[in-house]
Amino acid sequence: MYRVVVFVPNWLVLGVLVGLASSGVAAGIFLVGRHLYPDPAPATGSGSTESRRTTEIRQYLTAIGEPFAEDHFVEGHTVAFYLPKRDVAITFDARAFIAIDTSPTYAVLVEHEMPGFYIGGRLPFDTPEMNFGDGEDESERGAFDRTRAAFAVLGLPASASERQVKAAYREKAKATHPDQGGDPEAFKQLQEAYATARERAAS
């Protein structure tokens, strides 16, 4: 009976071992680096859409005079808005909606695609009708709506003076400015609201 002996050169064995060791070290470095320096959350996508919808809902609730708290804790979940007078929670999170829906608190789920001003139709109470009058055309209605929304972003009534508009803008800019860790989209909306409200207050 014959026995076959395969001869493997030492340099080949050494090369394979060094390659495996190098790969292990590189993988370890990447794992440690990823743990110490995680990837930042993307600024686009559903996050920015949620930010836009949050701003719209805030404007709507302010416009109808409904008190609310943002990022409120309800039934073990943080919801976007909580209406304390009505015991209503408004959330973008389906899991939070399901959990809260089985509690005494009334839960409202908002899809990212749904414009925030449609929230009135989902609330479990009568909301004031957004009425612009019969004699106005569509462009006048749109201008009136933008003006009212602008004052709502600043947290002011539509009768506010130019001085009040400037003071409210300065106060809100401190919290929303990107240099202070604020959301760039929210700051852009604040700037647009300020321009509209200031023009209206000055006229």
* Predicted TM-score (pTM) above 0.85: no
Partners of 91 in beta bridges: 109
d(CA 116, CA 71): 16
CATH class assigned to 140-202: mainly alpha
- The whole-chain average pLDDT of the chain stands at 78
pLDDT in tens, 116-142: 777 888 898 888 765 434 444 444 444
Q: Which of 101-115, 149-163, 177-191 has the highest mean pLDDT?
A: 101-115
Q: Are 185 and 44 in contact (CB under 8 A)?
A: no
- CATH topology for 46-122 is Endonuclease; Chain A (3.40.960)
Sheet holding 69-74, edge to edge: 69-74, 77-83, 88-91, 106-109
d(CA 81, CA 56): 12
Instruction: Provide the pLDDT confidence category of residue 181 given band limits of 50, 70 and 90.
Output: confident
Q: Domain limits of the chain?
A: 46-122, 140-202
